[in-house]
């Protein structure tokens, strides 16, 4: 049900971004992403004129927002990925005994090491066999958990999965990206962890194999990302209409013939790829990657933009899935290996790490990732 909100900007709120101002003053059920989409759709005006999300508000201006209070983070626009589940979808979600590797857990949150091939949350075509189905089962076995699934038949406490926006997921990983995900068990935990993510104080680090030899030992990609102008299912670097995206990277190792000194002068080894890889590509690079922002497919899009797409990526590389299967690669070789954040209740730092899966280890060719996993130099 739509509701209209009226605001007059005060002097204390002047010079704030419009989307940030509305996030602070609208009901908490509306996420900033949903508000941004409403602004872009023309549902928000300043002095009766449409505006952009980044527009700075001025003292005395009148802001009118006509929004659906049940919008959460979903959208009716085609091609937009929604965090929330469509009405009635909870009736299709059932707890399933899918094995999970829990790296950390307490009454407020848990951190899971998602395997490759596991869809994060239910969506059309994937109402079962997802991480959420697995979490529902796991939490049904944990009586102390405050996160319950009352709408899917679990009696665990006062709150429910459906009552938490995004089903408690603080962030997501692509189906074929492995690694660490944080899941909130309480509304407070979700709110405070999401704030850390938005404020860029939650550290997320990845390891990735990319095509070719990346020429510089470290670097930063600052390129806005938005929906592809032709295929709305894909993302692309968009200088007009994209959202700010920042990715840092550093070279850990260059593999294959021609490996040589990097631009920074650090000598790189020249060992051949592992014989376990049936038909290895001649040149590839192992990167450590960290994110400032969290756009959809960000690392994959930015690496392709650099001319070094992630190995095994049939979407953003120049090769189809069949080519990668011929090399023994069945998914993009990207793994979220480390995450660091402040605990929402104790405010103490929580650090988690997850070793790379076997399908990535065989491309290391003897390279030891121990120093990286033990918290070596960051990008």
Q: Dihedrals φ, ψ of 35, to 5°? A: -65, -40
Sheet holding 49-50, edge to edge: 2-8, 62-68, 44-46, 49-50
**109, 138, 135: which is closest to 121 by C-alpha?**
135
Q: CB-side exposure of 255: number of CA atoms within 13 Å? A: 24
**100, 157, 276, 286: which is closest to 211 by C-alpha?**
286
Q: Hey, what are 210's tokens?
A: 């990319």
**Cα-only R_g, the chain:** 22
Confirm if 177 and 328 have CB atoms less than 8 A apart.
no
What is the residue-wise DSSP string for 68-100? ETT-TT---STT---SSPPTTGGGG--------
Element (H, E) at 322: helix 321-326
Cα separation, 10 vs 29, whole angstroms:
24
**Alpha-helix residue ranges (DSSP H) falling in 101-243:** 131-140, 187-198
Cα separation, 256 vs 273, whole angstroms:
6
Cα separation, 332 vs 303, whole angstroms:
12
Confirm if 97 and 38 have CB atoms less than 8 A apart.
no
Cα separation, 142 vs 157, whole angstroms:
11
Please say whether the dihedral angle defined by the alpha carbons of residues 58, 64, 67 and 69, taken in this order, is positive or negative.
positive
**19, 4, 1, 163: which is closest to 69 by C-alpha?**
1
DSSP state of 165: G
| Active site (catalytic) residues | 174
């Amino acid at each position: 049900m739509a509701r209209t909100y009226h605001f007059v900007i005060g002097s204390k709120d002047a010079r704030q971004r419009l989307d940030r101002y509305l996030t602070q003053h609208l009901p908490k059920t509306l996420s900033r992403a949903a508000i941004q989409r409403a602004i872009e759709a023309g549902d928000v005006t300043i002095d009766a004129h449409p505006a952009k999300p980044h527009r700075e508000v001025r003292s005395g201006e009148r802001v009118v927002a006509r929004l659906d209070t049940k919008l959460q983070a979903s959208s009716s626009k085609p091609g937009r990925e929604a965090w929330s589940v469509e009405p009635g979808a909870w009736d299709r979600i059932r707890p399933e005994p899918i094995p999970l590797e829990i790296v950390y857990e307490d009454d407020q949150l848990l951190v899971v090491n998602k395997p490759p091939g596991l869809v994060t949350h239910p969506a059309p075509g994937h109402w079962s066999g997802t991480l959420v189905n697995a979490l529902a089962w796991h939490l049904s076995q944990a009586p102390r958990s405050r996160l319950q699934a009352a709408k899917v038949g679990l009696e665990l406490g006062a709150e429910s999965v459906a009552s938490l926006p995004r089903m408690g997921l603080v962030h997501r990983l692509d189906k074929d990206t492995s690694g660490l995900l944080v899941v909130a068990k309480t509304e407070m935990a979700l709110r405070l962890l999401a704030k850390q993510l938005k404020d860029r104080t939650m550290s997320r680090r990845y390891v990735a194999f990319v095509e070719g030899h990346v020429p510089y030992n470290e670097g930063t990609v600052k390129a806005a990302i938005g929906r592809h102008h032709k295929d709305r299912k894909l993302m692309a670097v968009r200088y007009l209409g994209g959202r700010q995206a920042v990715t840092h990277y550093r070279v850990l190792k260059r593999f294959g013939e021609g490996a040589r000194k990097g631009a920074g002068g650090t000598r790189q080894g020249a060992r051949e790829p592992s014989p376990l890889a049936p038909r290895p590509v001649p040149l590839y690079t192992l990167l450590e990657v960290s994110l400032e922002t969290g756009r959809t497919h960000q690392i994959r899009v930015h690496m392709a933009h650099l001319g070094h797409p992630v190995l095994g990526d049939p979407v953003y590389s120049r090769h189809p899935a069949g080519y990668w299967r011929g090399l023994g690669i069945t998914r993009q070789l990207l793994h979220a290996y480390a995450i660091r954040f402040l605990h929402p209740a104790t405010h103490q730092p929580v650090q988690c790490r997850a070793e790379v899966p076997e399908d990535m280890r065989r491309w290391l060719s003897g390279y030891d990732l121990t120093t990286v996993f033990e918290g070596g130099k960051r990008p």
